[in-house]
Each structure stands twice: as structure tokens, then as C-alpha cells.
Amino acid sequence: MEATVVKNAGSHFLLSELPDWKPFPAVLRGKVRLERSGATNPVAVGDRVRYELDGDAADALHPAVIKEVLPRSNYVIRRSTNLSRQSHIIAANLDQALLVVTLYFPEIKLPFLDRLLVTCEVYGVPAVIVLNKLDLYRKLAPEQVEEFCGIYRGAGYKVLECSALTGEGIDELRSLCSGRTSLVSGESGVGKSSVIKALDPSLDPKIGRISIAHLQGMHTTSLYEMYPLASGGFIVDTPGLRGFGLVDLEKEEISKYFPEMLRVADNCRFVPCTHTHEPGCAVKQALEDGLISPERYNSYLGMLEEDKKFR
């Protein structure tokens, strides 16, 4: 039988045969055949799996047993930022990633956002930037809002301005999520839980709508969990991220995942071109002409430098 992983709590999982929402417990026993991802977690939220039952139905005493993870259409993966090569799959089989950001409170780190965006590009996950706390910024920093939106819309990304507090932009976001499986990710403190709560007031991601009380002894401080939306579709909630390292990228490839660089890179005089020092570089010319933002270009340079650290 096949089902989707809707909760990952270490060695225990909840599965549901989507689109039906009837979660049941499962465990992982023995070796599971996986795609080669090099990740520390063999099973991620959103994975489609084959399972077996020990009896007629799964319960706390007789959980289902995951036998195989089916091939993933895409996934989001991060590497530890402590210079290790360990990586972790955040979620799999996604229709989109909603990257929640704030300009202040906490202050945005553009290199962090750009690493998330590059990872989404690499693994085929369409990304939408959700600028939360707009009610604050419209009063305190309207010019910064315009500047930020200009940078990322100019790069080719959809930027949705919203406020979980006032509800502004939430209807558009809800429509965007309808019928889709959406990852909600971002740095700690940006209001991911508030955005999810605004999308569907019946949800409380801080507590967890899916009860796992029957799975005794579980460590539940860093849960990855999927929720059904009343308006249709599913949301994958993740713990707030404090760092995000790139995985499986050669430095010559990084620029290919900056859409604004990709648009002009074919015009570079030399191939391959690192877009740092070569004469006749179309990317550097686009930077001078204002077609590529200095902020995004600096993030690119930072990723090149980061690549050296891991080698």
C-alpha cells in the first residue's frame, strides 16, 4: 500500500493516503531503498512511501512499517553551516515553496534568502517570497519595501506582500495555496506560524494539529509536519532555520541558478565564466547597467567563497 509522510518526528512518522486525511503511525525498520541524496534523514515529510500493516489497521502498538520510499519529483535540502558535509532533506514532492521573510524584527539576511532560492532552483521547487509584517514596514520603511520588492521581482520572483496581523494579502496567498502542497520556510521569528494561522484559523502549528500522544517517548521539539488547509491543499511547516548551506553545487554551476544571471550569461566572451574577473563578462556588464542588483551579485560572490570552505 502507498501513502504520504505527513509528520516526521525522528524515528517515528505519521502517514496518510492523500488526499484523504486520516493519519496513522508508522516506523522505519531495516534498510529502505532511497534515491542518492546523501541526506542524514532517509524519509522526509511529503515522501510517498510503500508500507505494510501488522494487522488490519495501524495503531500505537502496531504501527505501519515503511518498506520503500518512492522516487521524489523534487525536494528542498540544506547542508549544515558548521562546515560539515551532512545534509538534511526538509520536505519532498512540493508544488511550491513559500519563503517567509521580514525586513526588520528580525532583520533580513539577503544571503540566507538567496541560498534558499538557489536551492529551490536546483531541485525544481517553484519559489514565492512572502514579505510578512507589511503593516509595520509601510509606516516605518516604505522605501525599503519598494527596494526589496524591486530586487527580487527584477530577478524574476513573485513577491507577495502581506500581514498576518491585519490579514492584508492573505486572501491572495490562500488562493495561491489552494490545491497545492506548499512548503512554508524561513528564518526564526519571521512569523511563519502566524502566516499559517492566518491562512487557516483552525490550525495551530505551534502546538501541532496532528496528535502524536500515542507515540510514547518521542522527541518532538523539531518537527516537520504537514497540515490540510480548509480552503484545499496542504501546508508543510518546518522549524525556523538559523543557517542554510548549499548542497551538490560546483562553483561553475551556481550562477545558472540566479535567473537574472542566466538570462545574460550566454553573452559572456569566455565559457565557462565565473563572472568575477573575466573580460567581456555579460553578467558584470548587466550589473553595471543596473539589470542585476548589487545585493544579489554579492550573495553570488559569497556562495563562491562558501564553496571553497567546503572543499
Last residue of a domain, one of 237, 271, 286: 237
| Residue 8 included in any domain | yes
Lowest mean pLDDT among 19-23, 38-42, 204-208, 210-214: 210-214
Task: Note down the domain range covering 282.
Answer: 254-309
* pLDDT the model gives residue 60: 76
The CATH number given to whatever domain includes residue 53 is 2.40.50
Do 91 and 231 belong to one domain?
A: yes
pLDDT at 35 over 60: no
User: What is the average pLDDT across 17-45?
Assistant: 80
Tell me how many domains the chain contains: 3
49-105: pLDDT as tens digits:
999 998 778 887 789 999 999 999 999 988 765 545 678 889 999 999 999 999 998
* pLDDT the model gives residue 254: 94
Last residue of a domain, one of 211, 237, 263: 237
* pLDDT the model gives residue 6: 97
| Residue 245 included in any domain | no
Do 104 and 39 belong to one domain?
A: no
pLDDT at 4 over 70: yes
Do 22 and 146 belong to one domain?
A: no
Do 83 and 229 belong to one domain?
A: yes
The CATH number given to whatever domain includes residue 107 is 3.40.50.300
Quick one: pLDDT band at residue 311, thresholds 50, 70, 90?
very low
Do 105 and 228 belong to one domain?
A: yes
91-115: pLDDT as tens digits:
999 999 999 999 998 899 999 999 9
* pLDDT the model gives residue 242: 62
Do 124 and 152 belong to one domain?
A: yes
Do 231 and 161 belong to one domain?
A: yes
Quick one: pLDDT band at residue 37, thresholds 50, 70, 90?
low
| Residue 100 included in any domain | yes
Mean pLDDT across the chain: 87
Last residue of a domain, one of 18, 46, 69: 69
Quick one: pLDDT band at residue 28, thresholds 50, 70, 90?
confident
* pLDDT the model gives residue 179: 95
233-278: pLDDT as tens digits:
999 998 776 666 677 788 889 999 999 999 999 999 998 899 999 9
* pLDDT the model gives residue 211: 45
pLDDT at 219 over 60: no
* pLDDT the model gives residue 105: 85
The CATH number given to whatever domain includes residue 288 is 1.10.40.50
Do 143 and 18 belong to one domain?
A: no
User: What is the average pLDDT across 178-200?
Assistant: 93
Do 92 and 153 belong to one domain?
A: yes
* DSSP codes, the chain: -EEEEEEEETTEEEEE-TTS---EEEEEEEEEE--S--BS-SS-TT-EEEEE-SSSS--SSS-EEEEEEPPPS-EEEEE-SSS---EEEEEES-SEEEEEE-STTTTP-HHHHHHHHHHHHHTT--EEEEE--HHHHHHH-HHHHHHHHHHHHHHT-EEEE--TTT-TTHHHHHHHHTTSEEEEE-BTTS-HHHHHHHH-TT--TTT-SS--TTSTT---SS-EEEEE-TTSSEEEE-PPBS--B--S--TTTGGGGSHHHHTTGGG-SSSS--SSS-TT-HHHHHHHTTSS-HHHHHHHHHHHHHHHHT-
